[in-house]
Amino acid sequence: MVSYKELGLVNTRAMFAAAVKGGYAIPAFNFNTMEQMQAIVQAAVETKSPVIMQVSKGARNYANATILRYMAQGAVEYAKELGCAHPEIVLHLDHGDSFELCKDCIDMGFSSVMIDGSALPYEENIALTKKVVEYAHKYDVTVEAELGVLAGVEDEVASEVSHYTKPEEVIDFATRTGCDSLAISIGTSHGAYKFKPEQCTRDPKTGKLVPPPLAFDVLHEIEKKLPGFPIVLHGSSSVPQEEVDTINAYGGKLPDAVGIPEEQLREASKSAVCKINIDSDSRLAMTAAVRKYLAENPSHFDPRQYLKPARDNMKKMYIHKIVDVLGSDNKLLQK
Ligand SMILES: [Zn+2]
């Protein structure tokens, strides 16, 4: 058993309370590789932002849970080396699907876990979430739960259709489970193809797809039921058109990829939404830079040559999200 506190990590409690009160959101960036980790830490340090580094089941399968945990510990030390005296870094399990997986992560130093029982019947979701909360709270680890189903595909999590969270259930759910934050479904979606073209309208000037707006009425209803309670949005990449265009210009094929417009995420950040999950945008930033570099430098074969621009491009994207979308810059609790 390793406590996350020994690793220099923090849980989400204080940062969420401050974010809800201050009208901003904490970025939750998924990571699988060293370059992503470096870019996340550099961006968080330069902007003086708290940050959640999250690991999905797919990331654990790809990189190995032990390695990712030591990388998170390394991230804390790296942040200090870059001049941040008190880094606020959370290591979070994204979409935990069983008590055993959550327990395993807590025992190896994660400071926050998500238990996603959203596909289960309501009472089973409550029972599973409550079991994880009881274990996690013994070690001061915070727990994110989910009510409502998001559409889209993210690693092993996939659903054809979305079901908005029912506001009438949230008080009962939060009270009976004791969860620390709640992921809700209001129209965000996993992956780089968040909406089918038939769900969108086309901008007459650019011909680009315009996705349907988020259900802010549902969000506001939930906020009224649970005043000040931390709300989480999954599937909140914006799928920047310039990255998609670069990928397609250098041999990729991502027709009609579409994300959540940043204005809507900016608006959500000002509400009780205090954690916004971004994964696809980092994948796109990395792939766009690698494709461009290799196309322009066909004789190069040193991975450092193409991973450096990939890392720089991700860092630029992370800084943009922190400063221009979520507003979490200069929000470290301890200066
Ligand atoms: Zn998710």
Write out pLDDT tens, residues 100-124: 999 999 999 999 999 999 999 999 9
- Residue 263's pLDDT is 94
Closest to 153 in 3D by CA, of 255, 56, 243, 297: 56
Tens of pLDDT, residues 228-284 = 999 999 999 999 999 999 999 999 999 888 899 999 999 999 999 999 999 999 999
CA of 30 to the centre of ligand 1 (A): 10
Q: Ligand 1 centre from 105 Cα, in Å?
A: 17
CATH code of residue 119: 3.20.20.70
Report the separation in Å between the CA atom of 154 and the middle of ligand 1, taken as the mean of its atom positions.
Answer: 7
Tokens encoding 334: 């301890």
Task: Kindly state whether residue 335 falls inside one of the protein's structural domains.
Answer: no
Q: Mean pLDDT for the chain?
A: 94
Q: Would you call 107 a catalytic residue per the annotation?
A: no
Residue pointed to by tokens 């209803």: 221
The parent domain of residue 24 ranges over: 4-326
Domain assignment present for residue 262? The answer is yes
The alpha carbon of 235 and the centre of ligand 1 are apart by a number of angstroms equal to 6
Q: 160 or 315: which carries more pLDDT confidence?
A: 315
CB 115 within 8 A of CB 137: no
Q: How far is CA 94 from the centre of its chain?
A: 8
CA of 146 to the centre of ligand 1 (A): 9
Any residues with CB less than 8 A from the CB of 255 and at least 6 apart, and which? 248
C-alpha distance from residue 331 to each of 62, 88, 104, 215, 323 (Å)? 32, 10, 31, 28, 11
Ligand 1 centroid from CA 46, angstroms: 27
Mean pLDDT of 26-42: 97
Evaluate whether residue 159 is within a structural domain.
Answer: yes
Considering the domain boundaries, does residue 333 fall inside one? no
Q: How many CB atoms lie within 10 A of CB 303?
A: 11
Q: What is the pTM of this model?
A: 0.95
Alpha helices for the chain (secondary structure H):
13-22, 34-47, 57-63, 65-81, 99-107, 122-138, 170-177, 216-225, 241-249, 262-269, 280-296, 303-320
User: What CA–CA distance (Å, rounded) separates 283 from 262?
Assistant: 17
**C-alpha 91 to ligand 1 mean position (Å):** 15
Provide the token pair at 293.
Answer: 């570099």
Say if residue 156's pLDDT is above 80: no
The pLDDT of residue 147 is above 70: yes
* Sign, CA torsion 94/194/117/26: positive
- Give pLDDT tens digits for 78-87: 999 999 999 9
Residue 332, in any domain of the structure: no
Q: Ligand 1: distance of its center to the CA of 279 in Å?
A: 9
Collect all residues with Cβ–Cβ distance below 8 Å to 74 and sequence separation of at least 6.
37
Calculate mean pLDDT across residues 95-101.
96
Please give the distance, rounded to the nearest whole angstrom, from the Cα atom of residue 309 to the centre of ligand 1: 27
Q: Which of 94, 97, 155, 279 is catalytic?
A: 94
Distance from residue 288's CA to the centre of ligand 1 (Å) = 23
Is residue 61, in this structure, part of any structural domain at all? yes
Say if 173 falls within a structural domain: yes
Confirm whether 37 is domain-assigned. Answer: yes
Between the CA of 241 and the centroid of ligand 1 the distance, in Å, is: 22
* Residue among 155, 148, 152 at smallest CA distance from 189: 152
- Residues of the chain above pLDDT 70, percent: 97
What mean pLDDT do residues 164-185 have?
96
Q: Is 214 left (phi over 0), alpha (psi -120 to 50) or beta?
A: beta
Residue 159, pLDDT score: 65
**Domain total in the chain:** 1
pLDDT band of residue 199 (cuts 50, 70, 90) is confident
